[in-house]
Amino acid sequence: MGLGPDASKVETWEDSSKSRVVVVEKKKVKKNGEVEETGCWVRFSFRNCMPSRSKVDSFMSGTTASCGKSTDEKNRDQQVAPVGSSTSTSNIESTISTPNFSEELKVASQLRKFTFNDLKLATRNFRPESLLGEGGFGCVFKGWIEENGTAPVKPGTGLTVAVKTLNHDGLQGHKEWLAEINFLGDLSHPNLVKLIGFCIEEDHRLLVYEFMPRGSLENHLFRRGSVPLPWSIRMRIALGAAKGLAFLHEEVQRPVIYRDFKTSNILLDADYNAKLSDFGLAKDGPEGNDTHVSTRVLGTYGYAAPEYVMTGHLTSKNDVYSFGVVLLEMLTGRRSMDKNRPNGEHNLVQWARPLFGDKRRFYRLMDPRFEGHFSIKGAQKAIEIAAHCLSRDPKARPLMSEVVEALKPLPKLKDMASSSYYFQSMQAARSRSMPNAKNGNKMQVTFQPRKGTPVRSLSSQSSAQASPHQLPGVSPLPQIRK
């Protein structure tokens, strides 16, 4: 890698596509007998994250579970240019020490304490058929316990739960496990997933959550073969997730920065109500006159705010930026990072940003799977909200309570694009031009006029030069507040 023997700090990111790990390495040099960080490099590694029976078996045998990050990646690493330097890394986070459970574990009284055998039986011996998914923390299994106790019960009876296991990957995993308990053990809100209890027994550390039957928003948006979520449900999910962030930022005694807001961490109950999960990377917000928290750059590539990646200065505005990315994913049906897209469209925010202020081409941002069944006014407002959240200047981004108020009317709007003459004409023109576009032919498409409507033409050669008329009954996209 060319970093030399002093490059000792490694931070791992998980890509939303679950096919890539981003590793940030910070180089350390000795200066006057002291160790000082001078910069960081980013490496991209590709891996297969599909769970298998052998992974579950290795967990049961007491060896390190392989549901999380792969370590055999040296031959696949690719170095890119340094992305910045940070000398303000927290001493607490950079010091490696033996976990002290009695000092670090602040257990809320309402949490249940499970034995490892309880959870082993509740999940039917962690068998692969009970596997719900996996992440950077570990594997998640479906289980059944007593309604008001800890004893396992017959599948299909009692209380259905999700049991998350901890990968045996050292101090960072332990810190994430503690953060989950210390935050979710104290916080309660309709838009936060409920932590029921935990298990700490020898080297086993597990967490028990309420079961969310609809799974993650990520699966509904991007899993092949999934039924597209309707406009009203997407906006309701966005509103619920925004309420969860607003609670963390503005309603608790000491603000909490979530730090890993993404579609895979938004879980859905049976009625598609959104709940934030996975608080392993959450941090307490700044206190007093402090403007930010200095910390290691941890999170998911494509969702973290650029100023946080560059400086390590963490504020609630990082969560606001991440919300903007997720809202954009919900509107477009595209992942935040997708290398399978054409050149220029790999990064969702970079691709979408030039379209934010274009009042005539906003429809290009909308998920084709909507098939026109989305509110025109609602789409324009949602794009405005996303653009505001994604402002390059963190101070220009809104508070999450402001986002909540802006989102409230959107799920109920009924001015569907499919009923507009303009959208119907656009769809017809697109369907007629597509066969010729595949063959490389240029085709001039003329809209059929209706009474009182001027004739307009679009060329399939360049959509950027198209000049469609204003959508009927829709005001121009408002200016984004600076």
Question: What would the DSSP string read from start to end of 353-394?
Answer: GGGTT-TTSGGGGS-GGGTT-SBHHHHHHHHHHHHHHT-SSG
- Residue 164 labelled as part of a binding site: yes
Catalytic choice (118, 260, 278, 367): 260
CA-to-CA distance for 408 and 19, rounded, in angstroms? 35
CA-angle at 142, arms to 140 and 148, nearest 5°: 115
CA-to-CA distance for 265 and 279, rounded, in angstroms? 9
CA-to-CA distance for 250 and 53, rounded, in angstroms? 43
Measured in whole angstroms, the distance separating CA 386 from the mean position of its chain's CA atoms is: 14
Crossing angle between the packed helical segments 376-389 and 231-246, to the nearest 10 degrees:
30
Residue written as token pair 């309880």 = 118
- Phi and psi angles of residue 132, each rounded to the nearest 5 degrees, phi first: -95, -30
108 Cβ neighbours under 8 A, 6+ residues apart: 181, 185, 186
> Annotated catalytic, 319?
no
CA-to-CA distance for 52 and 66, rounded, in angstroms? 9
CB 186 within 8 A of CB 247: no
CA-angle at 47, arms to 45 and 51, nearest 5°: 150
Residue written as token pair 């005001």 = 475
Question: Per DSSP, what are the bridge partners of residue 37?
Answer: 28
CA-to-CA distance for 422 and 406, rounded, in angstroms? 26
Compute the chain's Rg from CA coordinates.
24
Q: Which residues are annotated as a binding site for ATP?
A: 164
The residues annotated as belonging to the active site are 260
Q: Which residues are annotated as a binding site?
A: 164
